[in-house]
Amino acid sequence: MSIVSDTPANAVSTPPLERSEPAELTVLGACPQDCPDSCAMVVTVSDGVATSVSGSKSMPYTNGGLCVKVDNYLDKVYSPDRLLYPMKRSGPKGSGQFEQISWDEAIATIAEKFTAVSAEFGPEAIMPCNYLGTQGITQGLNVGDAFFNRLGATVAERTYCDAGSCTAYAMTVGDTAGVDPESFVHSKFILIWASNVMSTNLHLWPYIAEAKKRGAKVVVVDPVKTRTAKAASQYIPIRPGTDGALALAMMNVIIAEGLTDDAYIADHTIGYDELVERVAGYTPEWAADETGIPVDDIYTLAREYAQSQPSVIRIGVAIERSAGGGQSVRAISCLPALVGAWRRPGGGLLQLPLWAFPVNWPAFLHTELQTPGTRVVNLYQLGEALTGGLELDPPLKALMVYNSNPVVVCPDQDRMIAGLSREDLFTVVSDHFLTDTATYADIVLPATTQLEQDDINFSWGHLFVTYNNKSIEPRGESIPNSELFRRLAAAMGFTEPAFTRTDEELIAEAYDWESPAMEGITIESLKEKGWQRLNLPAPDEYAPHAEGNFKTPSGKTEFVSSAAAGGNFVLPLFRQGSNDHQPGQPVDPLPHYIAPRESTRTNPALAEKFPLNLLTPKSHAYLNSSFGNIEVHRKVQREPSLLINPVDAEARGIESGAQVRVFNERGEFVVLAKVDKSVMAGVTVCSMGYWRKNSLSLSTPASLNPTVFADLGNAPTFSDTLVEVALVEGVLA
């Protein structure tokens, strides 16, 4: 165990403390959650028991505070409901009846079953389902990739989050980290576009607040007046999925009124003349009609954005979740170059700074173990895949879920449940708890939490590497994901070096340590300090694209995208590194508008039956579905509810607190109504993340979401969902 105190990163290192009685130790950890903030944590341990977790005071971005979710992390670690032993099913599928077995029996059962399925149907009848339950490089996204690639299993395309946005962003500016969030303090105009920063990116807020204090204007564009919108200088409500119209109209105004930075455009962009021609048709008047935003507000937004330099845009993940979500991000990504925002620290775009981290992805993706041509199935279509909707040959006969809870996070919940209920499907789930998905497993395996394992992190919200020192011994017989796959590989007879690496060896391979970004950073220094900033210019001086240097093929912001010629694509990271690039539909190389698929305006026939648009954003107190079972988090989050505008509520005789049924042709769920004008008329909101087994109707919003992809990167279309809402007759207990 590496034990160090929370000293500033540049302090002289001290030798690990000797354990003495009474034994209270301070261990430097790192938050494992799938969140842009990736906090540096401090864990106190007394006699082998963790007694507190707190945010590192020395780490600038964490700044001494955690969030409501991870402040209570010990409730999760020591929960009486933790899975502590492997179990096998002892009742009907989904009954939740299990009996304890040994690890030897569990591993042998899985190996036998995988071998038998593979022999009878071929290995593609087996499929993994995983994401970022834990985000560390060694225990997270790629921990099982070597195993499933070697097995020849169906490749899981994991476009859970930001894949469409990333395709659009990469087409425009390349895979660049973009604006350093710490340099937001220098921004004069901050446009928060589809991001509820105060709930989902809390540690960015102090930088925004500081900029505001220094005179910056902060504008939020969202269909909901969120807590973030309430704290902004201006809130602009927008119809879901119409963001592209607003961005294109902003470009129209900026160009028509000569608010462009012509020198920047000449030196660092391609395709300007074509862009000018393209956006001429996207007038503010047209956009006002499309978005529901008053035309004067569009003019003002465009002018202020262009003229208050440096201006910065924070794009939230939700923007990708409509039919034209990709093109919305394309259009937004063009804006900073048009006005020369990239010239100064604090100007440009913040999307996903993950790209700054020189993670050694090949050492974890292990595409060399993949059989070329192996079938790829997108996890958002798992319900269909399990129930014959995708016509798979061979059909799926075995599923292994780890780091994910597909029943709650994937669309099409009813078919997911039908699929998981199949008697002929062998399902393994590794998790901390008996989740809605684990309840349907044949074999359940106990996983360690972050306090019980070592790991090393990247971040997709800031520029610091964090290191997690293990602080306590695993509870029960829980094991890290890495150990699970070592055991499974051994049982399957896989002998390649990829399958015998210890956790220490995995951590040693996590980064390209020779990369200039890692200068001054070693495993030893990380273990001791807990966190270190990548070797990049200081935030006060850092303007990564002041001189262009975009990561596109041309090195410029590509108004006309050269990558579009290859058709729609999914970045390798999201398709389990599949070497099997499947180009999608051809893509218009210029940004353009694609209206939502399910809206009263584009689909009046559907809207006649289901006139309201359902949004399912993140909850405040859960992390996706993680913590959805923990009492203290449930208290903070309160009962699942549906936010509905008074106009829509009144028309349906709905009052706050009433049970309402939310439904469409795909399914239904029941929650309590919350009538409030913070949501625009025509739109309703139910946060995702609460558990199906804790719901009134044994269903959650996922049962209503479509499995159709957005235009780019196979992104989901959660925000592109029409529903109707009705009072429940009688009351469900």
Ligand X SMILES: Nc1nc2c(c(=O)[nH]1)N[C@H]1C(S)=C(S)[C@@H](COP(=O)(O)OP(=O)(O)OC[C@H]3O[C@@H](n4cnc5c(=O)[nH]c(N)nc54)[C@H](O)[C@@H]3O)O[C@H]1N2
Our CB check for ligand X shows the closer of 6 and 724 to be: 724
Of 62, 176, 195, 703, the one binding ligand X (CB under 6 A) is 195
Of 222, 452, 528, 598, the one binding ligand X (CB under 6 A) is 222
Binding part of the chain for ligand X, among 240-248, 287-295, 499-507, 568-576 by CB under 6 A, reads 240-248
Contact flag: residue 427 with ligand X (CB under 6 A): no
For ligand X, the binding residues in 562-581 under the rule CB under 6 A are none
Contact flag: residue 353 with ligand X (CB under 6 A): no
Our CB check for ligand X shows the closer of 517 and 710 to be: 710
Our CB check for ligand X shows the closer of 260 and 333 to be: 333
445 in Cβ contact with 484 (< 8 Å)? yes
Contact flag: residue 238 with ligand X (CB under 6 A): yes
Reduced 3-state DSSP string for 178-216: CCCHHHHHHCCEEEEECCCHHHHCHHHHHHHHHHHHCCC
For ligand X, the binding residues in 691-720 under the rule CB under 6 A are 701-702, 705, 718-719
Q: β-pairing, 667-675 with 269-270?
A: unpaired
Our CB check for Mo ion shows the closer of 292 and 716 to be: 716
Of 160, 189, 355, 663, the one binding ligand X (CB under 6 A) is 160
Site track for ligand X across 313-332, x = CB under 6 A: ---xxxx-xx----------
Contact flag: residue 279 with ligand X (CB under 6 A): no
Our CB check for ligand X shows the closer of 176 and 404 to be: 404
Q: Which of 41, 36, 76, 71 is nearest to 55 (CA)?
A: 41
Nearest residue to the partner Mo ion, using Cβ = 161
Distance CA 682, CA 704 (A): 17
Distance CA 169, CA 547 (A): 19
Distance CA 123, CA 116 (A): 9
Helices (H), 259-354: 262-268, 272-279, 284-291, 295-307, 325-338
Our CB check for ligand X shows the closer of 126 and 521 to be: 126
Our CB check for ligand X shows the closer of 60 and 617 to be: 617
The DSSP bridge partners found for residue 52 are: 44
Contact flag: residue 379 with ligand X (CB under 6 A): no
Binding part of the chain for ligand X, among 1-9, 133-141, 352-360, 505-513 by CB under 6 A, reads 133-141
Our CB check for Mo ion shows the closer of 324 and 461 to be: 461
192 in Cβ contact with 607 (< 8 Å)? no
Of 110, 127, 161, 170, the one binding Mo ion (CB under 5 A) is 161
Helices (H), 324-391: 325-338, 362-365, 382-386
Distance CA 61, CA 181 (A): 9
For ligand X, the binding residues in 596-635 under the rule CB under 6 A are 615-620, 622-626
Q: Name, in order, each residue with C-beta under 8 angstroms of 393's C-beta and a sequence gap of 6 or more.
A: none
> Cβ atoms within 10 A of the Cβ of 11, count?
12
> Cβ atoms within 10 A of the Cβ of 258, count?
8
Binding part of the chain for Mo ion, among 51-59, 92-100, 153-161, 240-248 by CB under 5 A, reads 153-161
Q: Name, in order, each residue with C-beta under 8 angstroms of 597's C-beta and a sequence gap of 6 or more.
A: 322, 323, 603, 706, 708, 717, 720
Our CB check for ligand X shows the closer of 254 and 484 to be: 484
Of 60, 86, 223, 244, the one binding ligand X (CB under 6 A) is 223
Contact flag: residue 86 with ligand X (CB under 6 A): no
Torsion sign across C-alpha atoms 268, 274, 276, 278: negative
Q: Name, in order, each residue with C-beta under 8 angstroms of 723's C-beta and a sequence gap of 6 or more.
A: 610, 612, 613, 614, 662, 663, 664, 684, 704
By CB under 6 A, how many residues form the interface with ligand X?
Answer: 61
For Mo ion, the binding residues in 172-201 under the rule CB under 5 A are none
Nearest residue to the partner ligand X, using Cβ = 133
Distance CA 389, CA 416 (A): 11
Site track for ligand X across 432-471, x = CB under 6 A: xx-x-----------x------------------------
Our CB check for ligand X shows the closer of 380 and 550 to be: 380
Q: Which of 689, 558, 551 is nearest to 622 (CA)?
A: 689
Tokens linked to 645: 């505008």
Cis peptide bond N-terminal to 86, omega within 30: no
Tokens linked to 305: 């954005």
Our CB check for ligand X shows the closer of 483 and 558 to be: 483
Contact flag: residue 199 with ligand X (CB under 6 A): yes
The residues that touch Mo ion, with contacts defined as CB under 5 A, are 161
The residues that touch ligand X, with contacts defined as CB under 6 A, are 34-35, 131-134, 139, 160-161, 193-196, 199-200, 221-224, 226, 238, 240-241, 243, 316-319, 321-322, 402-405, 408-409, 430-433, 435, 447, 481, 615-620, 622-626, 688-689, 701-702, 705, 718-719
